[in-house]
Amino acid sequence: MAYEMAVDRLTYQAQLQNSTTYTACELRGVILIACSILLGLVQATFITNDTSTLKSSYEFIIVGGGTRRSGCRESPVCQSYCLGVERGSDQMNNDLLNDPFTTFGTPSACRFNMDAPPQLGSNGTRLLQLTHGSCLGGGSSINAMMGSRPTFAGMQAVEALGNPGWGWNDFLPFMQKSETFHPPNAEQRADGADYFAAVHGFDGPVGVSFATPFVAPAMQAAGVNTSEIIYGLSLSPDLGNGFSGGHVAHYYEHIHFNETLQADRRSSSAWSYLYPQSQQRAGLTVLTDHLVDVVLTKAGSHGNITATGIRVQPSAGGQSLSFNVTREVVVSAGALYSPSILQRSGIGNATFLKSLGITPVLDLPGVGSNFQDQILLSNVSYPLSPSANTTNVTAGDKTLLGVVVAHATATNAFGPNGTDIIQAGLLNSSADFTLSVGGIVNEEAFSTIAAITANAYRIDHPIIELFYTPGSEVLEVWSQSILPLSRGTVRINTTDPTADPIVNTHFLTVDADMQIAIRMARGVAQAALTPPFSDLLTPDALAQSNVPGPDATDDQVRDWVLATYTPGVHFISSNSMMPKALGGVVSPELLVYGTTNIRVADASIVPLSVFPHPTLGLYGVAEKAAHMILQTAANT
Ligand SMILES: Cc1cc2nc3c(=O)[nH]c(=O)nc-3n(C[C@H](O)[C@H](O)[C@H](O)COP(=O)(O)OP(=O)(O)OC[C@H]3O[C@@H](n4cnc5c(N)ncnc54)[C@H](O)[C@@H]3O)c2cc1C
């Protein structure tokens, strides 16, 4: 399989080199024209937190107003009969969220933390918090806006897992469709920004651009050069072209740059798909401040079940009420909450559901298993040298996270035998622990996923991400794992819909992940010692930081990793798109196995952590889901 994937990759590369500049209008024009004809005069989308004016029945109901909320926007039927329900509030005019330069991590009305059960730590266990967004826009309203895409090898791996139609060539057009890419201007180009026009979209709802101007050009240049030296990488014009392995690049963000105002604004999904004038849809109603308790079902044809509606309640507490659905329910509450809704609805592991007093309507053991997150070494900041204290290094008051990103493959990170080392590590991993905690549903799932992951690394899938962030007193160098094998679970422990589920990440419980984490830490240390980046730091920067130096043993580095790692907050895969026999929950059409009309469309369906930062890929998932929903609607 590795050979075929490599050949595919070369064919694609040749096509890319021969392609001309992409004109996105050609792709979207037909759809937009068709919509205008069908819609007639477009009226405003109705956003409310008051249920008294709502209808009792809708054709489509979308649960969750997060990153993947575009499902109905182009559906002609939805223009009259679509209801979206979001647990959080409407924060349209909240400048803390809209200003992309608000310091990352600033508390806001959209930012929430969930306590995870104790995770692996240096003294046994550690308590970690899982941060997530809850308002219109979900995580896209609070995230760091780092704009990355899955790689070619990554999407081929998703397809190889049993998902025809999800390989890179099939998936790319949907990512393009979602995007308005703002090519770098002359000043940004002079500072090193570049792009491949052939892989971008230019008239979609989501703005993607480099910060204007560059936030810290001198630091960015130093980060690029140092990464080249540490990992033997080369500068890529664009990490979004599918060949991310073994490159470093200036990063673009989910930022909409307004040419008229000459101002940057966060491109959340709410500001992309909901608020703009061009996105207004008569009859599309969005109910905020209400949470979905259950999807109501009845027995359907051929032993399947059919959704008949949803039951909701005010998020602050109060009377429940139900809405009927005549076509589909699309569950999009994110990887932390979508499995909870299915479980409360009686869809999940039957034995587990019965233990909570829930009557199972569908025995689907994969619901809430296969959960993944990437780990982050985020407690790394190096003191700035006084001589480097210029805004070209510190960014002044315009800080953005990860303005330079390096992606290292197994060979870059571990040396010439890197892929063999990692392949052996993955293939020899024992399934016992993961199986015992329910992270996978059977041993075959574990070995299949391990083999597919190893193959992706063998092609050129990045194994480690290293990224640089400017600051007024320190420069931060963080590292993130990309394709972990450790698997966790999302399980409710009560039928109370206001209670958070128990989300057990089981970070670093597979040794191959730990070996990669040790390499991540080594790379972070090297950055502090390798010019030109180290020239921007005080001479004792590494010692000041407590990051283990080059003389530390692997055991010492391991301890430091266990004491300091944090969640990557890129939660995925708790309703995996993969064969049911491997613990899959949804088919490649995103339909929940055993149902006629319940789809899941959010990060919970992404079966492998091939999205280094998920959001741009998730917009592709959203566009593909919308396309499939439209197709079904057209045929019924
Ligand atoms: C702090 C942080 C930083 C991040 N940085 C980046 C980054 O730089 N780049 C990047 O690409 N990605 C980043 N991410 C990840 C990215 O934001 C998420 O992967 C993405 O938002 C997931 O989208 P989703 O649609 O699956 O879920 P979400 O965006 O989480 O949306 C789910 C929505 O469903 C709602 N909901 C939940 N339960 C219910 C219910 N019962 N009824 C109704 N509604 C419900 C929630 O309130 C939420 O609004 C970051 C995430 C966080 C938290």
Annotation: binding site for FAD: 292
Give me the mean pLDDT over the 198-218 stretch: 94
Residue 462 has a pLDDT of 95
Using alpha carbons, select from 611, 506, 574, 580 the residue that is nearest to residue 370: 574
DSSP characters over 398-457:
---S-SEEEEE-HHHHH-TTHHHHHHHHHHT--SHHHHHTTSSSSHHHHHHHHHHHHHHH
Using alpha carbons, select from 430, 429, 363 the residue that is nearest to residue 583: 363
H/E/C letters for each residue in 579-633?
A: CHHHCCCECCCCEECCECCEEECCHHHCCCCCCCCCHHHHHHHHHHHHHHHHHHH
Q: Which helix (H) or strand (E) holds 164?
A: none
- The helix/strand/coil state of 475 is strand
- Check: CB of residue 333 under 8 Å from CB of residue 603: no
pLDDT tens, residue by residue, 486-544: 999 999 999 999 999 999 999 999 999 999 999 999 999 999 999 999 999 999 999 99
Catalytic positions are 570, 613
Residue 41 has a pLDDT of 37
The residue type found at 189 is R
Assign 3-state DSSP to the chain and report helix, strand, coil percentages, each to 5.
35, 20, 40
The residue type found at 192 is G
154 or 11, which is more confident:
154
- Check: CB of residue 338 under 8 Å from CB of residue 322: no
- Check: CB of residue 628 under 8 Å from CB of residue 164: no
Distance, in Å, from the CA atom of 462 to the CA atom of 626, rounded to the nearest integer, reads 29
Distance, in Å, from the CA atom of 266 to the CA atom of 256, rounded to the nearest integer, reads 6
pLDDT tens, residue by residue, 363-410: 999 999 999 999 999 989 999 999 999 999 999 988 899 999 999 999
| CA nearest ligand 1 atom 49, residue | 138
| CA nearest ligand 1 atom 13, residue | 143
pLDDT greater than 90 at residue 271 = yes
Å from CA of 142 to ligand 1 middle:
8
Annotation: binding site: 292
Residue 1 pLDDT grade (very low, low, confident, very high; cuts 50, 70, 90): very low
Distance, in Å, from the CA atom of 110 to the CA atom of 135, rounded to the nearest integer, reads 5
Angle at 307 between CA 634 and CA 49, to 5 degrees: 95
Instruction: Identify the bridge partners of residue 621 per DSSP, sorted by sequence position.
Output: none
Ramachandran bin of 270, using left for φ above 0, alpha for ψ from -120 to 50, beta for the remaining angles: alpha
| CA nearest ligand 1 atom 3, residue | 143
Q: Which residues line ligand 1 at a C-beta cut-off of 6 Å?
A: 63-68, 85-88, 131-134, 138-140, 142-146, 291-292, 332-335, 337, 341, 569-570, 602-603, 613-615, 618
The residue type found at 478 is W
Using the atom order of ligand 1, give the atom closest to the CA of residue 603. Answer: 26
Of 569, 572, 576, 616, the one to substitute when testing ligand 1's pocket (max ligand atoms within 8 A of C-beta) is: 569
Distance, in Å, from the CA atom of 88 to the CA atom of 333, rounded to the nearest integer, reads 11
Of 111, 467, 468, 613, the one to substitute when testing ligand 1's pocket (max ligand atoms within 8 A of C-beta) is: 613
Residue 66 pLDDT grade (very low, low, confident, very high; cuts 50, 70, 90): low
Å from CA of 285 to ligand 1 middle:
21
Of 69, 85, 132, 345, the one to substitute when testing ligand 1's pocket (max ligand atoms within 8 A of C-beta) is: 132
Using alpha carbons, select from 184, 235, 186, 149 the residue that is nearest to residue 482: 149
Residue 258 has a pLDDT of 76
| CA nearest ligand 1 atom 9, residue | 146
Å from CA of 137 to ligand 1 middle:
8
Å from CA of 139 to ligand 1 middle:
3
| Residue 449: C-alpha distances to residues 10, 167, 484, 489 (Å) | 24, 16, 10, 16
Using the atom order of ligand 1, give the atom closest to the CA of residue 338. Answer: 38
Residue 22 has a pLDDT of 28
Å from CA of 591 to ligand 1 middle:
21
Angle at 575 between CA 572 and CA 577, to 5 degrees: 90
pLDDT tens, residue by residue, 534-555: 999 999 999 999 999 999 999 9
- The helix/strand/coil state of 360 is coil
Å from CA of 469 to ligand 1 middle:
22
Using alpha carbons, select from 112, 219, 160, 246 the residue that is nearest to residue 470: 219
Å from CA of 418 to ligand 1 middle:
34
Give the contacts of 518 (CB within 8 A, at least 6 positions apart).
554, 557, 558, 561
Instruction: Identify the bridge partners of residue 474 per DSSP, sorted by sequence position.
Output: 383
| CA nearest ligand 1 atom 20, residue | 139
- Check: CB of residue 418 under 8 Å from CB of residue 263: no
Residue 396 has a pLDDT of 92
Tokens of 45: 């989308």
Of 70, 87, 405, the one to substitute when testing ligand 1's pocket (max ligand atoms within 8 A of C-beta) is: 87
Give the contacts of 53 (CB within 8 A, at least 6 positions apart).
none
Å from CA of 525 to ligand 1 middle:
31
- Check: CB of residue 407 under 8 Å from CB of residue 245: yes
Residue written as token pair 């500049």: 21
Residue written as token pair 């199986």: 435
Alpha helices (runs of H) in 496-566, residue ranges in sequence order: 511-529, 541-545, 554-564
Å from CA of 617 to ligand 1 middle:
13
Residue 67 has a pLDDT of 60
Instruction: Identify the bridge partners of residue 247 per DSSP, sorted by sequence position.
Output: 234, 407
Angle at 145 between CA 403 and CA 99, to 5 degrees: 100
- The helix/strand/coil state of 560 is helix
pLDDT tens, residue by residue, 301-355: 888 999 999 999 999 999 999 999 999 999 999 999 999 999 999 999 999 999 9
Using the atom order of ligand 1, give the atom closest to the CA of residue 146. Answer: 8
Using the atom order of ligand 1, give the atom closest to the CA of residue 617. Answer: 11
pLDDT greater than 90 at residue 6 = no
Using the atom order of ligand 1, give the atom closest to the CA of residue 144. Answer: 8
